Structure 1
Amino acid sequence: MPDTKKGEAFAKLVLRVWRDPDFKARLFKDPMPLLAEYGVETPPGLKVKVVENEPGTIHLVLPSAPAKVSQQQEEPVYTIQCAVCHSRDSCLTHHS
């Protein structure tokens, strides 16, 4: 699915969360079926934990460390990308 379609699918899911408290509770409890229902693809075996930003606070999610990172390593081993950059409040990587 192209990134635009992924973004649209995620935006529809977020709108539903904002409008429907029961749906939101289900998303927090068991996100995988609801993500799939909205066309948000996840790799097999991936675990998803849902967190919610609050006004004035965002969650900074650090990536897992790769298997081999030396104490002397100075160059990054990955590139930061937004999976879905749907608002300034949820993304620090593309907004200043």
Structure 2
Amino acid sequence: MTNDGSMKITGRIIARAWADEDYKARLLADPATVMEAEGLAVPTGIAIKVVEDTATVQTLVLPARPIDLSDDDLGEVAGGRPSGKDTWAYTRPLF
């Protein structure tokens, strides 16, 4: 789900869920069916989870670890200290 078309569909799904409580309930209960009905193909064997942030609960998504990066590469991607640099990398705060 990284191309422009799928991003537009995802945005439409989110906007509709904000406006329609019944739609949101269906999206939370069975996201793959809702997404497919909106035109997003969900590959066989892939489970989709939708969670809703609230004023008091925020979600941090921990992506799967890439299998082709070294530990040093992962440290740089994750906001660790870049190799060969004297300063710490800065990443945007979550909140």
- Long gaps (5+) in structure 1: 81-91
1:21 to 1:45, Cα distance in 2 relative to 1, 3 A:
same
C-alpha deviation, 1:61, in angstroms: 0.8
Given residue 28 of structure 2, which amino acid in structure 1 is its aligned partner?
Answer: F
Cα-to-partner distance string for 1:25-62 (whole Å, 9 max, x where unaligned): 11111111100111223322111111012237531111
How many Å separate the matches in 1 of 2:8 and 2:65?
A: 30
How many Å separate the matches in 1 of 2:54 and 2:11?
A: 17
**Count of equivalent residues:** 80
- Pick from 59, 64, 74 the counterpart of residue 76 of structure 1: 74
1:2 to 1:64, Cα distance in 2 relative to 1, 3 A:
closer
Given residue 54 of structure 2, which amino acid in structure 1 is its aligned partner?
Answer: E
Given residue 73 of structure 2, which amino acid in structure 1 is its aligned partner?
Answer: E
Summarize the alignment of residues 1-12 of structure 1 with structure 2, pairs less than 5 Å apart. 3-12=3-12
- Long gaps (5+) in structure 2: 79-90
The aligned counterpart of 1:20 is: 20
The aligned counterpart of 2:43 is: 43
1:54 to 1:3, Cα distance in 2 relative to 1, 3 A:
same
- Quick one: higher RCO (CA 8 Å, sep 6+), 1 or 2? 1
TM-score of the superposed pair, with normalisation by structure 2: 0.62
Structure of higher CA gyration radius: 2
Given residue 72 of structure 2, which amino acid in structure 1 is its aligned partner?
Answer: E
- Greater mean alpha carbon deviation, residues 38-47 or residues 49-58: 49-58
- SS of the counterpart of 1:74? helix
